[in-house]
Structure 1
Amino acid sequence: MRTPLRFYFDFASPYAYFALRPLEALAEKHGRKIECRPILLWAVLKAHGIAAPLDAPVKRAYLMADMVRSAGFYGAPYRHPAKLPVSSHLAARLCYAVAEQRPEVVQALIHAIFEAFFVRGEDISRADVIRTLAMAQDLDMEAALEAMEGQIGRRRLAAAVDLAIAENVCGSPYVIVDGEGFFGADRLPQIAWRLSQSASSQELPEQRSSS
């Protein structure tokens, strides 16, 4: 059975937002599933001793311009956030709690959170914003609050951060394909290439000989 694509990302990462839909298309084309794993990028980078990407003024200026350019390149609706970076812990906790209780709505929720932040300019660090997004997925207010503040979301997010550190995640988005890591939305062509190689290597001998 083909292994899923493990997709590590921070909800405050515009490059993760740009990458998700193309990655979903690649996964579908190659018969793979996607394991979406929200993380707190600052915690992962801190564990590795890596400075936050927006800390250096010259790099921040470049990335701010590149985010707008990349949105155009990927054809993604985009409104530059008024505040960046922001804490995405509430959104990540919600996703992990929902994944355990109602996995069928997680992917739609992830898209909704990205669009709230990068299309409508909503502040995803605010509990009321995340609660509204949760309720749009038919989660009631009590369930949403428990997901954001309860132990399931906290525990699973902490475990995801620990696993990201162990798997040498060094940015967002970071995709693991059959044990190999790819960092950045600009790695999508290489991911497509690697998936094509993997598909070819898994053909039966008689299939290869007849092709």
Structure 2
Amino acid sequence: MTTPITLYFDLVSPYAWLALHTVDDIRAATGREVIVTPVAFGAILKRHGQPAPVDIPGKRAQIFDDIRWRAAERGLPFTGPPAHPFNPLHGLRLCLAVMDPAVRTVLARQLADAAWSQGRDLQQPQVVLDVAGHCGLPQAWAEAQLTDPGIKQALIDSTGQAADRGVFGVPTFALDGRLFWGNDRIPHLLAAARGEGPPP
């Protein structure tokens, strides 16, 4: 049995939004399950002593222009959240609380769409709960996850484990002990899944 691919993501990242839209294609191309795994990107940046990409002068505008191009290439409408960066913790915690990989993928993708395609504010708990409801999750259960101490700690642990593994940015894909950072490394990820390595 083949091991799954892990996709580390944070809803605050537009590139992670695009990556979530590649999950089905990657699954079909590799025959492997893709486990979407939320991490707190801000904590990873702090752990590695890195500035946030959008805080680098000149880079912010380049990032958002690039996202507009890439979203259009995938046929995805782009609006962008009302403020960026924003606090994504409600959505990340809820994603982590969902154990079923398929349901978690749908939830993560719809939460990311809410921010990046629809311009909704994921800092508002009700927005997150509205998306959860559209994914068929019970409202009382979903609301409880947003403040559950165990879920809060689980996200801290997930983030720390990712950083320990060498993750420094999102999206990052992990396959058989190897990391592939960014959507432009997806072709390399697929090649590795076929048993190919980098050229000598």
Taking structure 1 as the reference length, the TM-score comes to 0.87
Following superposition, the deviation at residue 81 of structure 1 comes to 2.5
1:46-96 CA-to-partner distances (Å, cap 9, x unmatched) read 001111111112111211211111212333222132311111110010111
Greater CA drift, 149-158 or 30-39: 149-158
Question: Which residue of structure 2 lines up, in the alignment, with residue 190 of structure 1?
Answer: 188
Query: Which is higher, the Rg of structure 1 or of structure 2?
Result: 1
1:89-139 CA-to-partner distances (Å, cap 9, x unmatched) read 10010111122xx55522221121011111111101111101111222333
1:36 aligns to what SS in structure 2?
Answer: strand
Identity of aligned residues (%): 31
Following superposition, the deviation at residue 151 of structure 1 comes to 2.3
Question: Which residue of structure 1 lines up, in the alignment, with residue 30 of structure 2?
Answer: 30
Residues 157-196 of structure 1 aligned to structure 2 (within 5 Å): 157-196=155-194
State whether residues 97 and 152 of structure 1, in contact with CA within 8 Å, keep that contact through their aligned partners in structure 2.
no
Aligned amino acid, residue 22 of structure 1: T
Question: Which residue of structure 1 lines up, in the alignment, with residue 106 of structure 2?
Answer: 108
Residues 14-53 of structure 1 aligned to structure 2 (within 5 Å): 14-53=14-53
CA RMSD of aligned residues (A): 1.8
Question: Which residue of structure 2 lines up, in the alignment, with residue 72 of structure 1?
Answer: 72
1:127-167 CA-to-partner distances (Å, cap 9, x unmatched) read 11011112223333321221111123212211111111101
State whether residues 122 and 128 of structure 2, in contact with CA within 8 Å, keep that contact through their aligned partners in structure 1.
yes
Aligned amino acid, residue 70 of structure 1: R
- Provide closer, same or farther for how the CA distance between residues 124 and 180 of structure 1 changes in structure 2, counting only shifts above 3 A: same
- Provide closer, same or farther for how the CA distance between residues 127 and 171 of structure 1 changes in structure 2, counting only shifts above 3 A: same
1:57 aligns to what SS in structure 2?
Answer: coil
Q: Does 1:133 align with 2:148?
A: no
Cα distance in 2, alignment partners of residues 140 and 125 from structure 1: 20
Q: Give the count of matched residue pairs.
A: 197
Question: Which residue of structure 1 lines up, in the alignment, with residue 54 of structure 2?
Answer: 54
1:37 aligns to what SS in structure 2?
Answer: strand
Question: Which residue of structure 2 lines up, in the alignment, with residue 86 of structure 1?
Answer: 86
Aligned amino acid, residue 40 of structure 2: L
Greater CA drift, 162-171 or 150-159: 150-159
Moved over 3 A (4+): none
Cα distance in 2, alignment partners of residues 115 and 94 from structure 1: 15
Taking structure 2 as the reference length, the TM-score comes to 0.91
Q: Does 1:144 align with 2:110?
A: no
5+ residue gaps in structure 1?
Answer: 199-211
Question: Which residue of structure 2 lines up, in the alignment, with residue 10 of structure 1?
Answer: 10
Following superposition, the deviation at residue 15 of structure 1 comes to 0.8
Cα distance in 1, alignment partners of residues 22 and 93 from structure 2: 24
Cα distance in 1, alignment partners of residues 45 and 149 from structure 2: 24
Following superposition, the deviation at residue 174 of structure 1 comes to 0.5
1:68 aligns to what SS in structure 2?
Answer: helix
